[in-house]
Homo-oligomer: A and B are copies of this chain.
Amino acid sequence: MPDSDVDRSLTIDDFAVVRRADTRWADNDMFGHLNNAVYYQLFDSAINGWVLEATGVTTGALSARGVVAESGCKFFREVGFPDAIVIGIRIAHLGRSSVIYELGLFSPVRDGDPDPAVAALGRWVHVYVDPAAGRPVSIPEPVRSLLELTAAFTRA
């Protein structure tokens, strides 16, 4: 990931796709904020929900599966139930069989804090795999077209 000072200056306008998500009571841990594993549930749902809606193709109908090869997150500000969350998605790299997403997690104003800065920054590597052979394959259509279009937007 790039330098942390650059990371923290990101706003929702830096992301090609914007998704909304709920938080749950059980998401908060003993410290009263979202447990760190929950961010990965939210990123996973944002990416998969967006691909499903934008392509109209359900996961099982694709010839290849998008498997998580690597994930990561930097946590800058606390977020917690009952806050609603906004997640921005952009494409950092698009390869033949894999795609690297960057995800910005934003929360609405809370406790009088109107800061629009990113609360957490995720990184996500999906590799498309033939479920039978277990080997990487080309990202299948119509997912590839969606990712190419989005990657072009990200660069602009």
In the complex, besides A52-B82, A71-B75, 9 extra interface pairs with C-beta distance below 8 angstroms are A24-B45, A26-B37, A30-B30, A35-B41, A37-B37, A45-B81, A48-B81, A48-B82, A49-B82
Residues of A in contact with B (beta carbons under 8 Å apart): 21-26, 28-32, 35-38, 40-42, 44-45, 48-49, 52-53, 59-60, 65, 67-75, 81-82, 123, 131
Q: Is the CB of A29 within 8 A of B28?
A: yes
Name the prevailing secondary structure of the A interface residues: mixed
Smallest CB separation, A13 vs chain B (Å): 23
Q: Is the CB of B30 within 8 A of A36?
A: no
Smallest CB separation, A9 vs chain B (Å): 17
